[in-house]
Every structure is written in structure tokens, then in C-alpha cells.
Amino acid sequence: MKEEIKELKYYIETWGCQMNEEDSEKLSGMLKSIGYTKTEILEEAGIIIYNTCCVRENAENKVFGNLGELKHLKKKNPDLIIAVCGCMMQQEGMADKILNKFPHVNIIFGTHNAYKFPEYLNRVRTEGVQVKEIFNKETEIIEGVPIDRESAVKAFVTIMYGCNNFCTYCIVPYVRGRERSRKSEDIINEIKDLVSKGYKEVTLLGQNVNSYGKGLEEDIDFAKLLRKINEVEGLERIRFMTPHPKDLTKDVIMAIKECDKLCEQVHLPVQSGSNRVLKKMNRHYTKESYLELVELIKKEIPGVSITTDIIVGFPGETEEDFLDTLDLVNKVQYDSAFTFIYSRRNNTPADMMLNQVSDDDKHHRFDRLIKAVNDSVIRKNKEFEGKVVEVLVEGPSKNDESKFTGRTRNGKLVNFSGENIKAGDLVNVKIVRAQPFSLVGEVE
């Protein structure tokens, strides 16, 4: 009896972006719909799923290391089912490499056929076979897949899949496929269903949300979609990521300004401040045009927070190029930034470029970038001291359960004290202290 209960539990670990997180929520939803329950304890699980990322080498190495460590669990429990999925599996030859190196893996599937996981699981259970199925091309969008949300307050909603940009460092178009947009009716219906279940905030997801609508029969683009979603009754907040700077139109900026539910936060990945590097990255904008876009956003959306992604050590990056990036960081004054050391990815144009930057130079520049970004973040956070801000309560603080945690409309993390508060409440909080990566406050 104990073994039977064990087999009905699953463990899932996710690496990568918000798209991967939502994919894992769908895998979890499918499993729960057929009677499985989730566990956070690896040894309790009868099914272990690793949902992988291939954007950086470090994420891949973690997968290899974890799969190796599962050998002893498989020996103790031969009925244990191990599945590996996600972007990493879409890379040519990767699935065979894993099966050769880790023959204890039972199921391998990619990003385009995750909806078929229950079928693969049933085959392993009933036929005792090893399943490897990778769709090389994107399929039609499958609606109605069960989803088990991590939060009861805020939710990810994918509006489109894939990417057509082919930045030279990026493997995403090769593993996520070309751009495909969901019908706006399906998106609106999903959001209305979320609101009926008590959700207050949605984050719209896409590799390049600005491209939304292309290829659809209906007359719609991203700005029009934002305005339609803003009309959903009961929804409190709307966020989105990720827009591409070359495609962010004034229509979208004005939608953020004019729609009361759209949060004053724009994630605008710059990647580099050097025009020479940006051209090699195939980004299709310049440092100057990016700064003009930032100026327009700040002008039209008072109190907006701007966040970004930056890569250090792209092939051929010189000290002068890096100084251009530091200059841009100082000019924009970001509220936060995801910073990365360039990681070579097989089958991308950047991997074959000459003048790869040495690890020493990469790490030295990375340390200097982190300091510049952190200085900016601290200055921006200090501006909130003494102000009263609206916070959407997410639940107890992870660091101090006597306090609550939530975010402002412009994305600032706030830990605060108060009474008679529950997740999903909107409360006014006075900020008493700014910390490097969060704000501390008290309910007014």
C-alpha cells in the first residue's frame, strides 16, 4: 500500500524562463488530472520530471549532474519513472546523448509535444518501453491543457509561442520554433476563468510579445490585445514579458499609460550598449535609438520602472564596447537587471565567431557591471522611502513568516507587517526602509 501511494506522487524541477515555468504548471496539471499528487521530496516520488533550459551551459550541466544522481534511486525503486523534457531536448542529438549516458531515463520529449506526456507515461507503465519523441517543427497551438498554478493570486498566460528574431547568441528560435499567436478569444477566456477563481494579476508571456497577432485572421496586434484584456472585470493587474526594443511601438506605450490595469513596468532587454556588438548580435537597434525609447517610456508613463537583460563577454567585445554598456546602464538607471556572462551555444552564429572573450575578461567585466547595476537599483529603491504604495499581497514572507510579501504596481518586492491580511488583498503600505533588493514597510 505504501509503495502504491509513492508511485502516485511526482516531483518536477524546472530550469529556465517563465515559459518553462508555465510548461511545468501544465505538466503538473496533466498529472493531477489523472490522479497524481505533487511532492517536494525527491525520494517520495514515483515520477521525476526535469524540465530543461538550454540558454546557458550551466543549466545543462545541472541537468547532467542531477540525472547522474538519480541512478541510486532507480536501483532502489526500479518502477521509478524518470522523464526529461524542455528546450534542451530540442537540440540536435541531445536526446540520444542523454539516453546513451543515462539509460535509466524512461521518457524524453520536447517543447512542441509536451501535451502528449500522459500518453507517453501510459506507454511506459503498460508496455514497459522507453519513449523518445521530439517534434522537430512547431505544431498547431493546443488549447485546454490542464494547468496547476504555482500561485493562487497571480498567473502566467502565454499569448504566443516561438521567435523569429534569430539573435546570433540565442538558441530559442531553434528549440521553441517560429512565432505562433493564440486567438485573442482563447486568451480572454483563460483570463476570465482565472478571475473567476480569485486570481488578481496576470503576466502575459511570449518570446517577443510585440509580435503578437501576426498570422492571425483577426485584426489585432499587441496594443489592441492589451486594451481588450484591460476590460476584463475583476482583474486588477496586467504585466507582460518580453518585448523586443526594435518592436516596442508607441501604441503599446500609450496602452500602458491609458489602461488602468496595466502595471507601470517595462522589461526592455538591451543585451549590450555597444552599437558594434548590437549589430553582431543581430538586435536591429542602436544604443541611441534604445535611449530614445527609454526617454519616451519615462515621459509617457510616470513612475515607470524599467528592467533589462545584459550579456557580458559576447564574442569580440572590447573594453571600449563594455564601457558603452556601463554608460548605458548609468544613463537609464534600471530598477533591476538580469545579467549574464555570454555562454556559447552550439549551432548559433555567435558560437562560430572569432575573438571569443577570455573567461578572465568576462568575469572582470561582469563584476563591474553588477556593481553599476546594483548602485542603480539601490538609488531607485531609496526613492520609495516615506512613500505609500499599493501592494498586491502574495502571502507570508519567505524570510520572516510574521510578515507579508507582495509587489508594487511597478514590480518592487515589499516585505511588510500588518494584521488581518490575506493573499490576494490590495493594501496600501508605507515604505520605511529601502534595501538593495527589496523594500520594507508597514500597512497604512
3-state secondary structure of 161: strand
Continuous H helices in 34-171: 57-69, 71-76, 94-101, 117-127
Note the Cα 253 to chain centre separation in Å.
22
Residue 85 marked as a ligand binder: no
Residue 54 marked as a ligand binder: no
How many Cβ atoms from other residues are within 10 Å of residue 300's Cβ? 14
Which grid cell sits at 249? 511601438
- DSSP letter (8 states) at residue 113: S
Q: How many CA atoms lie within 13 A of 185 on its CB side?
A: 4
Calpha distance 162→176 (Å, rounded): 5
Q: Are 331 and 307 a contacting pair, CB within 8 Å? A: no
Owner of C-alpha cell 518592436 = 247
Handedness of CA 256, 257, 261, 264 (dihedral sign): positive
Distances, alpha carbon 389 to alpha carbons 34, 238, 430, in Å: 43, 17, 6
Owner of C-alpha cell 504566443 = 160
Residue 163 marked as a ligand binder: yes
Calpha distance 60→432 (Å, rounded): 42
| 137 CB-contact burial (10 Å; exposed 0-12 / middle 13-18 / buried 19+) | exposed
Residue 53 marked as a ligand binder: yes
Calpha distance 147→197 (Å, rounded): 13
- DSSP letter (8 states) at residue 140: P
Which grid cell sits at 302? 510616470
Calpha distance 133→73 (Å, rounded): 24
Interior angle at CA 67, CA 342 and CA 23, nearest 5: 70
Q: Are 433 and 419 a contacting pair, CB within 8 Å? A: no
Binding residues for [4Fe-4S] cluster are 17, 53, 87, 163, 167, 170
Q: Which residues does the annotation place in the binding site?
A: 17, 53, 87, 163, 167, 170
